[in-house]
Amino acid sequence: MDHRVLRRLAASAVAALFALTGCTGGGVVEGRPGASGVRDPFFPKAGNGGYQVEHYDLDLDYDPVGGRLHATAVITARAEQALSSFNLDLSGLQVERVTVQGAGARFNRTGNELTVRPAEDLRRGEVFRTEIDYGGKPKHVTDPDGSREGWIPLAGGQGAVGVGEPVGSMAWFPGNHHPSDKATYDIEVTVPKGYEAVSNGELRSRTDEPGDGGAADAAGGGGRTVFAWRSAEPMASYLATVAVGKFKVTTGKTPSGIPVHTAVAPGEAAASAPVLGRLPEMVEWGSGRFGPYPFSSTGLIVLPEGTLGYALETQTRPVISGAPTGEEGEALVLHELAHQWFGDSVSPKSWKDMWLNEGFATYAEWLWSEDHGGPSAQQHFDAYLAGDTDVDPAAGSDWYAFPPAAPPGPKDISGSPVYGRGAMVLQRIRQEVGDEKFFALVRGWAADHRHGNASTADFTAYAQEKTGHDLKKVWDVWLYGKERPKAP
């Protein structure tokens, strides 16, 4: 019999004694294991039950040449039930040591689940601190749609990037990796001298240090630089990022004073300049259209061309691969910035609700075009209906393949109906209720769910209530209908 079982037997004997004597109180807690997932319809094992994280304190030491990471994660969480054990999501890497409330904890690993058994059961409502030392060569995760996320090295030992939509963040830190559990973050990254480390939020300090033999020393001639980043606003873990590279960093402010921090791979810097120059204006425009910008800073990370096959709306600082150029590059950056309101601040309750991210961000591109002398949102809508790729190159996609609010499976959450037809749903609402009510709806949605989570059902109920219109037909045909919708 292991110690754990003995201890539990002893605990129940004490509980029985209390029951016999009518004695109450005392420190005896009888916990149950927390669930190994939050039963997301598409990623049932993503996230974990029994607790909510309040804060992540990540301390990452990375050697870009050897590709090795050594890290400590301190996770402050609140127990939502009495816990005898709880899970974190982690893929690959070796776990060296785990403590809970300062005491050594037992742990084991099965698949992407790290199960932690604290020395003492945790009380319901208790705020507890878990410290995990881990490291190794992080691996990427392949998504159901075939794309790569997780920890991705840049070509030629130039650095690496950590990205996590939908479930890749578990490849670089243990956590409650589901968007329904948002938390604040401190991310400290130690890299060899000469490299930049960029993450979410604001840079609190940047310190040069002599080497101390850590993983980052190998490539830096012993010298290291420590970057301390803070995200004071809640963040879903899929939006966390770290980019390590020899970036060209630029800082500034938007016209209304929001700090801007951009990091661009040297080879992409010249070509990126024109679109990057418009980033402050895009953020201001978004504030006008969608309401106050939801975070304390903004920016962009431009990786070498080909690093990722997609862009990602990582919080405050989206990641793109290759310089954004021309109208297409402008629309891409605008799309990722629009996600700061829709996706990052208002996050989906489940991965099935993705159209709330992508439909809104695509609609934002249409609106930006409308407000800057390009085709209007209505013209984009018409182009999609007609498959007219002159107006919008994406209009030729199979936006009618499935209803945006009911993607058939996990590989479809990045499918074109989620983007294009999601945006068409918004234009359909605008047609029904008129501009004034429509923009009040969009701003109200961003304001009322700011820094929270929402589902499709929350949105449809909210839209009806806010506009006072019966929109059932729009939902039935455009949001949930299996048929290809006809022109309204």
| Paired residues of 176 in beta bridges | none
In the complex, residue closest to ligand TRP by CB: 414
| Paired residues of 20 in beta bridges | none
- Say which entry of ligand TRP, Zn ion, none residue 165 contacts (CB below 5 to 8 A, set by partner kind): ligand TRP
Count interface residues toward Zn ion (CB under 5 A): 2
Task: Please give the structure tokens belonging to residue 279.
Answer: 């980033």
CB of 361 to Zn ion, least distance (A): 4
Task: Please give the structure tokens belonging to residue 215.
Answer: 């993983």
The whole-angstrom separation of Cα 381 and Cα 386 is: 9
CB of 205 to Zn ion, least distance (A): 32
CB of 147 to ligand TRP, least distance (A): 6
* Nearest to ligand TRP of 49, 359 (CB atom): 359
The whole-angstrom separation of Cα 433 and Cα 425 is: 12
The whole-angstrom separation of Cα 170 and Cα 164 is: 8
- Say which entry of ligand TRP, Zn ion, none residue 310 contacts (CB below 5 to 8 A, set by partner kind): ligand TRP
The whole-angstrom separation of Cα 254 and Cα 423 is: 27
CB of 339 to ligand TRP, least distance (A): 6
Residue 52 CB: number of other CB atoms within 10 A? 16
* Nearest to ligand TRP of 248, 411 (CB atom): 411
The beta strands (E) that lie in 258-334 are given as 259-264, 298-303, 319-321
The whole-angstrom separation of Cα 191 and Cα 180 is: 31
In the complex, residue closest to Zn ion by CB: 361
* Nearest to Zn ion of 260, 361 (CB atom): 361
* Nearest to ligand TRP of 11, 308 (CB atom): 308
* Nearest to ligand TRP of 422, 485 (CB atom): 422
Q: Which residue has the tokens 């079982």?
A: 5
Interface mask (CB under 5 A) for Zn ion, residues 348-387, using x and -? ----------x--x--------------------------
Do 236 and 165 form a contact (C-beta atoms < 8 A)? no
CB of 318 to ligand TRP, least distance (A): 8
Q: What are phi and psi of 290, to 5 degrees?
A: -110, -5
- Say which entry of ligand TRP, Zn ion, none residue 130 contacts (CB below 5 to 8 A, set by partner kind): none
CB of 333 to ligand TRP, least distance (A): 11
The whole-angstrom distance between residue 416's C-alpha and the CA centroid of its chain comes to: 20
Q: Is 68 helix (H, G, I), strand (E, B) or coil?
A: strand
Give me the helix-helix angle, 456-467 and 355-371, nearest 10°.
50
Do 368 and 334 form a contact (C-beta atoms < 8 A)? yes
- Say which entry of ligand TRP, Zn ion, none residue 344 contacts (CB below 5 to 8 A, set by partner kind): none
CB of 141 to ligand TRP, least distance (A): 11
Which stretches of the chain bind ligand TRP, using CB under 6 A? 143, 147, 165-166, 310-313, 335, 339, 354, 361, 413-414
- Say which entry of Zn ion, ligand TRP, none residue 311 contacts (CB below 5 to 8 A, set by partner kind): ligand TRP
- The binding site for Zn ion (CB under 5 A) comprises 358, 361
